[in-house]
Structure 1
Amino acid sequence: MTGYRPEDRELFEREATGLYEQLLTEGGVPVEDPRIAEGAPLRRAFDLLVELGLLQLDDARTTWRPLEPSNAQSRVVTPLGTEGARLIEESARWASAFAGLNQSWRRSPAAAESGLFLYLHGDAISPFLTTLINEAQEEMLTAQPQANRNAKALSEAAVRDIAFIKRGLSMRTLYQHSARRHPATHRYVAEVTKHGAEVRTLDEFFNRMIVVDRQVALIPAADNQATAVVVREPAIVAYLVDIFERAFARARPFSTSESRVMKEIASEQRSMTIRMLIEGHPDAGSAKRLGVSPRTYAGYVADLKEEYNAETRFQLGYTMGQLGIAGQDDDEA
């Protein structure tokens, strides 16, 4: 390897080539020229030209003279080509080795036991998901309840998902309405939708799910969010896709012009809060289903008490019952 990094090439393209062509016209540059002095704007480009062997001091050691670029080119490009060929060959050997392991796995009792389901624990989930996404051929469907991923995780996901879309594949994502109030999620959505992803939000609670090419689904284990279940059984995957499609059809597009949509979403969250109260769900469970914190949910309940002039939840429930309020879409009418 030559040791040159992408940023070196960018500097070469952006500044060094222009400087080289200028010095060709001038016949060189004096050692004392202020353009190449320490700290000058062109100093880094000059140093790179010297390192590449495109400039050389003359015999009097007073002037830097341009040299023919073909020799420098061969010193940089040839090792890269050699290394690229070596990596391709190494990649093919790794693929061949893994192909043998895959055949052994399919013949083993372990494969028969796991069948069309595979359990992944902890740190094994992310590498599996990365490989699955890299091997996708058509589309990815994702359901992401509760916008609690941090900014770093969302930034990394944006890079991965944009690369996915740029391969010509489609991506649709479903969030809860509360994601619209999460700045990091807003930035993520702006990035991926700019490249063609579709993102919508829904008032209801749903479980995390990723489906790739309608052939493989990742869902959380029932009793452990740190464990993922890989599902390849066609009927179950088709069932999960159908659930996603129905939810996505009812969801609202996640757009940047939010004023009108946010009013409608506030109405939907108000109706769902009323349903949670009527059905008797505890605050923690209701907050989770709405995708908000217990404190925010308590604020929703307090707003309803004020709206219906009730001092207690019992009074609130009685008043809504008398008025026929049930948390449905036509209650306002």
Structure 2
Amino acid sequence: MEPFTLDEVSVAVYRLYIMRPEIDSGHISVALGLPEERTREAERKLRLAQLLQPTPAGGWVAVSPETAADTLLAEAEQSVLEHRSRIAAVRVGLGAWSGSYREARSMRSVKDRIEVVRGVEAIRAVIDDLARTCTDSVDAMVPGGGQTDRAIGAATPLDLATLERGVALRTLFQHAARNHRATTAYAEVIRAAGAEVRSASLLPSRMLVYDAATAVLPLDPDHTAAGAVVVRDPAVIRLLTHLFDSHWERAIAFAAAERHEGGEPSDLELAVLRLMAAGKKDEVIARQTGLSARSTSRLIGGLMERLGADNRFQAGVRATVKGWLP
């Protein structure tokens, strides 16, 4: 479609056709006192712009700009209309599945209070659905040390979208995660977007609780990719919510540094002492605290040196005498 330029000659020719509908094209130049080639060029532009349209008698008549626009854009508007119709048809077609989706989801929520989901992709699909449909709150308990780049990459957009909708997000890491650069960066991103982020020395299990109504737990805490349990039983949800809240209340802000004055052990050191007193081996302590094997050995060695203990039993006795352990 060629753009129309409103030059003075074209305007003059257009006005003359409006004022003198009976005028013959051959008399335009004489009437305006202009060279014939200039008025012919003006007429050509007016015809391209549909401001001059043919008459049944073989002449030309000036029409309003609105009529010209209708003529010029009729084909384009028809194309747009067809395109919108196709879009509407797709929406209607997909919308027909909404009832089935809502009904099936409702039946799943009511009948299957405990649902087992196997495989990484299936687990992610469930988490994605719950994250996108929750309305009030999400509580996340994340044991272990630093999270993998893949886990952070999957969680970040979901968390930000959830926070954008005004959903309250609480995330609870272990202290060991504060030494992992990518995890601390992720924590800062979601905290800046409105999430609350804290850390604790020990966490019992990975856990996600949506709207205090649906929880996702790993089938095997040591192999979270193997499968998950989706829980909707109200009694179990109340227990899990209480468990999360009890750990949350004892946790500290993720960015905060632990303070231990006068030789008192830190929260993490107390947790390690309790595990030592329970007879746990170094590898078990490392797994439960989220520390590396080297960090665990170094921490245990430091505690035994501070207690002046030659073995773990002696360390437990002296920690109890000092009042560090009940």
Structure 1 residues 112 and 170, CA, compared in 2 at 3 Å: closer, same or farther? closer
Q: Give the counterpart of 1:115 among 93, 112, 116.
A: 112
Measured after TM superposition, the shift of residue 142 of structure 1 is 0.7
Tell me if the contact between 1:193 and 1:199 (Cα under 8 Å) persists in the aligned partners: yes
| Residue 263, structure 1, aligned to residue 263, structure 2 | no
Tell me if the contact between 2:141 and 2:206 (Cα under 8 Å) persists in the aligned partners: yes
3-state DSSP of counterpart to 1:249: helix
Alignment root-mean-square deviation, CA: 3.5
3-state DSSP of counterpart to 1:147: coil
Residue by residue, what CA displacement relative to the aligned partner does 1:267-309 show, whole Å, maximum 9, x if unpaired? 1111122212222112122222222122211111111222233
Structure 1 gaps, min length 5: 1-69, 71-75, 329-333
* Counterpart amino acid of residue 172 in structure 1: R
Tell me if the contact between 1:173 and 1:199 (Cα under 8 Å) persists in the aligned partners: yes
State how 1:266-285 maps to structure 2 within 5 Å: 267-285=266-284
| Residue 227, structure 1, aligned to residue 232, structure 2 | no
Measured in 2, the distance between the counterparts of 1:77 and 1:292 equals 65
Tell me if the contact between 2:265 and 2:324 (Cα under 8 Å) persists in the aligned partners: no
Q: Which residue of 2 aligns with 1:242?
A: 242
Tell me if the contact between 2:174 and 2:203 (Cα under 8 Å) persists in the aligned partners: yes
Q: Which residue of 2 aligns with 1:204?
A: 202
Structure 1 residues 182 and 101, CA, compared in 2 at 3 Å: closer, same or farther? closer
Measured in 1, the distance between the counterparts of 2:127 and 2:283 equals 30
3-state DSSP of counterpart to 1:262: coil
| Residue 146, structure 1, aligned to residue 137, structure 2 | no
* Counterpart amino acid of residue 120 in structure 1: V
TM-score normalised to structure 1 length: 0.64
Measured in 1, the distance between the counterparts of 2:84 and 2:153 equals 29
Identity among equivalent pairs (%): 25
State how 1:307-318 maps to structure 2 within 5 Å: 307-317=306-316
Measured in 2, the distance between the counterparts of 1:136 and 1:80 equals 37
Higher gyration radius (CA): 2
TM-score normalised to structure 2 length: 0.65
Measured after TM superposition, the shift of residue 100 of structure 1 is 2.9
Tell me if the contact between 1:205 and 1:291 (Cα under 8 Å) persists in the aligned partners: no
Residue by residue, what CA displacement relative to the aligned partner does 1:207-245 show, whole Å, maximum 9, x if unpaired? 011111111111112586321011111221122112111
The size of the alignment, in residue pairs, is: 248
Measured after TM superposition, the shift of residue 158 of structure 1 is 1.6
Structure 1 residues 310 and 135, CA, compared in 2 at 3 Å: closer, same or farther? same
Residue by residue, what CA displacement relative to the aligned partner does 1:187-220 show, whole Å, maximum 9, x if unpaired? 0011111011001111123201111111111111
3-state DSSP of counterpart to 1:263: coil
Tell me if the contact between 2:213 and 2:237 (Cα under 8 Å) persists in the aligned partners: yes
Structure 2 gaps, min length 5: 1-68, 70-75
Measured after TM superposition, the shift of residue 156 of structure 1 is 3.5
Measured in 1, the distance between the counterparts of 2:243 and 2:103 equals 34
